[in-house]
Structure 1
Amino acid sequence: MAGKKREAQLQTIINSQSLWDEMLLNKGLTVIDVYQAWCGPCKAMQTLFRKLKNELNEDDILHFAVAEADNIVTLQSFRDKCEPVFLFSLNGKIIAKIQGANAPLINKKVINLIDEERRAVAGEIDRPQYNEILLTDVSEEESGGGHYENIGETCSIAIIKPDAVLRRKCVEIKEKITKEGFVIEAEENMLLSEELVREFYSHRADQPDFEEFVSFMTTGLSCVLIVSQGEEPGSPQQQPELYTNAKAEESSEYKNVDQVYASSSVTKKKWDSLQESLERQHISQYCEVEDNMVKVSMLINILFPDFKAMKSMKLQKTLAVLRPEVLEAKRDDILNIIHEEGFKILMQRQLVLSDEEVKTLFKDHENEDYFNRFIAYTTSGPSLALVLLRENAVEHWKELLGPRTVNEANESNPKSLCAQFAMGSFPVNQLYGSNSTETAEKEIEYFFPVQNLLAVIKPHLLSFIHYGSRSI
């Protein structure tokens, strides 16, 4: 009896949707063992969980739970699966998933997330922005089965360093990569752990200043990219939607692990060309490429655990804007429609736009008679910018919005959001959406830039910060 009580204290029991929703109110990190009723939780992991709780939970920000998939609607995609699954909920958002009882990987994930959360609470860093993962049904083939799936054969990891992120050079670097014929499949701004930096830059470990370099790389956000082979450099191509911890394209067909090394000489040449491209364009000091297939697979598993699932679902992100009057009067109604249409809200920000911002962002209205009135209206109060995620997000949101003006909407599409949420005599749609995936990426970058971090850089680290072709 005492043993059962001890186990219940270690892991909260979740066997209904209401208890699941209650668990999402936890502050800090909750590690959830998702199990089937017929086989029970993964007892092999309880020793590790007890150790982590004893060592890391002095400030009550680490929790453990067991969740029965059979009785929880949110977990329906995990029903009738034999393999253990562990979900990571950070302040109410499911941000990561590990399949299999991989104790070293789970241990590393918990330690890194708790360290980041403590530093964020203490004000030492800006809180990292994680994307919420979708709890989708993924077959063994799609999910890769083993830990070192062959995604590394067709993809590479590139890391844009913290100084370049702070100087907002990411867009420039990404554009130069794609112009060379490569495809950015996924990207995420994240604070790298010391252990990961040492792994990624192990080729520099023998250099005398390696310890200082590790310190530099862990002082701020880096931009991590998954880059794949696209068309030959210089040939026309269309940039696919990004995955971003959730953009996607058709999932590639991966070979088994034994074939990774057989084709290494072929793919190595391609990634050499990417590194050479960075050097030729004088941006290699800001960005390095990892081309070792096993390392790439490992890093993707750790940093982008749902990359394959997202690719198979063709997910896109788009920007939506609610203008001042409709935001004040109909905010909840519109947000309900967004959820009912299958969108997930990844980020949101309320802001008052300036005249210049309106002229730049909504330039397509500038030749209309109502443009001055449009500027005055749009700057009259706060607007709400949203990053929306779902399959075919850009086109679906545009279809929901309907025509650009109220008159057009009333005549041709009275069920559109433009017609439904017309306010007073204002002639323009009260809601906005990006008109293409390329526009969406640029607009999201504008409305949700990487926040500037206040960091004290010690004198001996300055040699690692490059501006153009010179060092300070």
Structure 2
Amino acid sequence: MAGKKKEAILQVSVTNQEQWTEMMATKGLTVVDVYQQWCGPCRAVVSLLRKIKNELSDDMLHFATADADSIDALERYRGKCEPTFLFYGGGELVAVLRGANAPMLQRLIVEELAKEKLVLEQGGGRKVVKDDALLDDEIKEEEKTLQQSEVEDSRTVSACEPYTVAIIKPDAVAQGKANEILMKIQEAGFEILACEERTLTEAEARDFYQHRAAETCFEDLVRFMAGGPSRILVLSHTEGSANVIPAWREFIGPADIEEARREKPESLRAQYGTQALFNAVHGSKDSDQASRELAFFFPNFRTTSAVEQDGEEGRVERTLALIRPDVAMENRDEILAQIQKLGFTVALQREVLLTEEQVRRFYLQHVDEDYFPALLRSMTSGPVLALALAREGAVLHWKNSLGPPDLDKAKEESPEW
């Protein structure tokens, strides 16, 4: 009796830098599921990958899993729990997908495999992308942001200026285009008042798009918007133009990407949209919708605006607050509630993994103190909760709220913190 044929391995396991270097030399398209030891590879997509492999039956398509904890090239992915898929052709990064979004993963595999085969057959260059998590520029930008609270003339923002809400949708974020789009937004004269990366739940997506519930594509839209992280933005014009909403809608182009490509080829949707639903960006259609969307994503931001519009004088400052990893994990909700009680608006919150060098730069004036080694260990032990706080006199008020840097004195003088 013939023995049972051994099933081929679907995903090659890459667990060290040497194996990673060897994999980069593989001919064809390689789709890598990046994981960490504590959470493991994404099991939810294994059956999909097997289905795609069987259907395409292409020797140029390869799947792998890679342990970020033991591969130097993936160091920037450590501390992240979101599924991340990297697409490599000829050792070059050609696409990135965050989140276990099955339809988008399948579409990207088919598209990128066709592109890679075309490069191998006809020659020419690949369209290389840069993932946000690997960009040195992003690290530098974070360092710049972290140092802002140490600057005496902190940037101020008028909370009553005209605004609109914008969304960089999951398809654009998944393909590593978010930073590129943000740069174009600023170059076009828009000011980013708030920016937050957020993955909507299906319930949130249904609530946000309830005005489109009668459309036949509604369920597909909900799944798409909940399928991965988006960037939620509050935008104004740098010159304070009251026409920010129509200006933004003109900049992003028609919702139908084919129409956008015909009539507005320079628009964001024409450049970054791929399908009817996957049109890259969203914009409020009028001031009423902008108000509703602002309340949906940034409820406290609206409260600040109302106070300003009621006639309180003064300008709103912003300052950066960093919450230690252990404290953020155990008391996040309590801290946010206390911050709001102190009159601050949380304009942006984000988890950030700091390097030792970033901590040293941010706490430069504390480096020679006896407590600094313990502070350094604490601030690099896990994700720090970074908060952009807004209110009148934010910088001084936040420093006063923190109390003395000495822990014993702080407990005596500011026991609530």
Normalising to structure 1: TM-score of the pair? 0.34
Normalising to structure 2: TM-score of the pair? 0.38
